[in-house]
Amino acid sequence: MCGWLGQACGNPVKQITFQQARQGWLGSGQRNDAFRGVTTGIHVRVDALAEIPYKDLLSHMQYRSRYFPVIRAMHRESPPPSSQPSPPPAMWQLADSCRMIVWMTDVDDNFVYLNQSAAALIGAGVPLSVSDWARFIHPDDLPNVRRVYREAKQAHAEYQCEYRVVRSDGGIRWMLGSGAPRHDAAGEFIGYTGTVLEVTEQHEAHERLAASEANQRLMTEYSSDLISHCDRNGIYLFVSPSYTRALGLEPADLVGRSVYDFVHPDDWHIVRSEVQRQVQDGAESSLIEIRKRHRDGHYIWMGTKARIMLDAVTKAKTGSVSVSRDITSERHARAELKRSEERFRSLTQLSSDWYWEMDEAERFTFFSDGLQRVFGIAPEYALGKTGFELALCTQQPDLETYRSRVAAREPFRNLVFIVRDPVGGGTRHACISGEPVYEDGIFKGYRGIGRDISAEKELLLQLARLAEENKALIEHSPDIMVLFDASGRILRANRAVKRVIGYEPEELTGRHHLEFVTPGTREETKALVAAIGDASDTVPDLENCWLRKDGSAVHLSWAVRRMDDSGLTYATARDVTERRRTRAKLRRANQRLNTILESIGDAFFSVDRNWRLTYANRKAIVFVGVERDAAIGKVIWDIVPGIRNSPIFEHYQHAMRSGEKVSFEAVYEPTGAWVEVRAYPHEGGLSVFFHDITARRVAEQAVRESEQRLREMLEITPAGYFLTDAEGIVQDVNPALCALSGYAKDEFIGKDIKRFLPSCPLTAGLAASGAGHAMETVIRHKDGRPVYVLLNLSAKSDTSGPRSLTAFVTDITERKQAEARLQQLASHDPLTGLPNRSLIGQRVESLLEAGPADETLAVMFIDLDGFKQVNDSMGHASGDGLLRQVALRLQCNTRTGDVIARLGGDEFVVAAHCPDGKVSAEAIAQRLLAALTAPFDIEGQEVFVSASIGICMLAADTRSRDLLFQNADTAMYRAKAAGRNCYRFFEAEMSVEAKTRMTLEHTLRRALERREFELHYQPRVKLKSMGVVGMEALIRWNHPQLGSILPMQFIPIAEDRGLIESIGQWVLEEACLQTRRLMDKFGRPLHVSVNLSARQLKCRNLTEQVEAALAKAGLPAGMLELELTESALVEDIDESVDVMKRLKKLGVLLSVDDFGTGYSGLSYLNRFPFDILKLDRSFVYHQPEGLSSFEFVKALVDMAHALKLSVVAEGVETGEILHLLRDAACDEGQGYLFARPLPLPELEAFLARLPSRT
In CATH, what number does 223-333 get? 3.30.450.20
Kindly tell me the sign of the dihedral angle through the C-alpha atoms of 1120, 1125, 1128, 1131.
positive
Q: Is the pLDDT of residue 166 over 90?
A: no
- Residues 1051-1077 have pLDDT tens digits of 888 887 788 889 999 999 999 999 999
pLDDT at residue 5 in the model: 40
Mark out the alpha helices in 978-1115 (DSSP H runs). 988-1007, 1047-1056, 1060-1082, 1094-1097, 1102-1113
| 947-972 average pLDDT score | 86
Residue 67: pLDDT band with limits 50, 70, 90: very low
pLDDT value at residue 29: 36
Residue 1225's pLDDT band (boundaries 50, 70, 90)? very high
In this predicted structure, the answer to whether residue 246 has a pLDDT above a threshold of 50 is yes
Which class in CATH covers the domain with range 351-458? alpha beta
Q: What is the pLDDT of residue 890?
A: 92
- Measured distance CA(755)–CA(533) in Å, rounded: 93
* Cβ neighbours of residue 909 closer than 8 Å, sequence gap 6 or more: 840, 859, 860, 861, 862, 900, 901, 902, 903, 965, 968
Rounded to the nearest integer, the mean pLDDT of the chain is 80
Tell which phi-psi region holds residue 727, choosing left (phi > 0), alpha (psi between -120 and 50) or beta.
alpha
Identify whether the C-beta of residue 1164 lies closer than 8 Å to the C-beta of residue 1127. no
795-799, 913-917, 1025-1029, 1121-1125: least confidently modelled range: 795-799
- The angle, 0 to 180 degrees and rounded to 10, between the axes of the packed helices 1189-1202 and 1215-1223 is 50
Q: What is the DSSP string of 53-98?
A: -HHHHHTTHHHHHHHHHHHHHHHHTPPPSSSS-SSPPHHHHHHHHS
Architecture of domain 477-581: 2-Layer Sandwich (3.30)
The helix (H) or strand (E) run that includes residue 885 is helix 876-892
Of 1184 and 421, the one with more pLDDT: 421
What is the C-alpha to C-alpha distance for residues 551 and 713, in angstroms, rounded to an integer? Answer: 89
- State residue 885's pLDDT score: 93
From 89-98, 236-245, 368-377, 725-734, the region with the lowest mean pLDDT: 89-98
3-state helix, strand, coil in the chain (%, to 5): 45, 30, 30
Distance CA 753, CA 723 (A): 9
How confident is residue 932, by pLDDT bands cut at 50, 70 and 90? very high
pLDDT given for residue 1171 in this prediction = 92
Q: Name the CATH superfamily housing domain 1005-1249.
A: EAL domain (3.20.20.450)
Instruction: Band the pLDDT of 794: cuts 50, 70, 90.
Output: confident
Whether pLDDT at 1150 is above 90: yes
Q: How confident is the model over 666-675, as a mean pLDDT? A: 83
Angstrom distances, CA of residue 1067 to CA of 127, 219, 1033, 1040, 1105: 143, 115, 8, 20, 11
Q: Is 1127 helix (H, G, I), strand (E, B) or coil?
A: helix
Closest CA to 883 of 861, 899, 907, 900: 907
With pLDDT > 70 as the criterion, what percentage of the chain qualifies?
Answer: 82
Torsion angle defined by CA atoms of residues 1108, 1113, 1119 and 1122, in that order, rounded to the nearest 10 degrees: -50
pLDDT digits (tens, 9 = 90+) for 1005-1039: 888 888 999 999 999 999 999 999 999 999 999 99
Locate the domains of the chain by residue range.
2-208, 223-333, 351-458, 477-581, 601-696, 717-816, 828-986, 1005-1249
Residue 878 has a CB neighbour count (10 Å cut-off) of 17
**CATH superfamily of the domain spanning 2-208:** PAS domain (3.30.450.20)
pLDDT for res 124? 54
% of residues, the chain, pLDDT over 90? 22
Domain 828-986 of CATH type 3.40.50.720: no
Return left, alpha or beta for 341; rule: phi > 0 is left, psi -120 to 50 is alpha, else beta: alpha
Angle among Cα 1045, 1046, 1049 to the nearest 5 degrees reads: 90
Q: Between 771 and 778, where is the model more confident?
A: 778
Per-residue pLDDT at 826 exceeds 80: no
Question: Residue 223: which pLDDT band, with cuts at 50, 70 and 90?
Answer: low
What does the pLDDT look like over 590-630, one tens digit per residue? 777 777 777 676 788 889 988 998 888 888 887 887 888 88
The per-residue pLDDT for 819 is: 78
Instruction: Answer whether CATH 2.102.10.10 is correct for domain 717-816.
Output: no
Whether 1005-1249 and 223-333 are alike in CATH topology: the answer is no
pLDDT band at 1000 (very low <50, low <70, confident <90, very high): confident
What are the CA-CA distances from residue 356 to residues 307, 368, 428, 449, 1101 (Å)? 48, 7, 18, 6, 133
What residues pair up with 1097 in beta bridges, in sequence order? Answer: none
**744: pLDDT strictly greater than 60:** yes
pLDDT at 743: 92
**152-161, 450-459, 463-472, 684-693 — which is least confidently predicted?**
463-472
Mean pLDDT in residue range 519-526: 84
Distance of alpha carbon 495 from alpha carbon 474, whole angstroms: 8
User: What number is the average pLDDT over the span 173-187?
Assistant: 90
What CATH number does domain 601-696 carry, 3.30.230.10, 2.40.37.10, 3.40.50.360, 3.30.450.20? 3.30.450.20
Residue 42 has pLDDT above 70, yes or no: no
Q: What is the pLDDT of residue 1034?
A: 95
Query: Has residue 32 got a pLDDT over 60?
Result: no
For residues 747-756, one letter each, b for 16 or more C-beta atoms within 10 angstroms of the residue's C-beta and e for the rest, the string is bbeeeebeeb
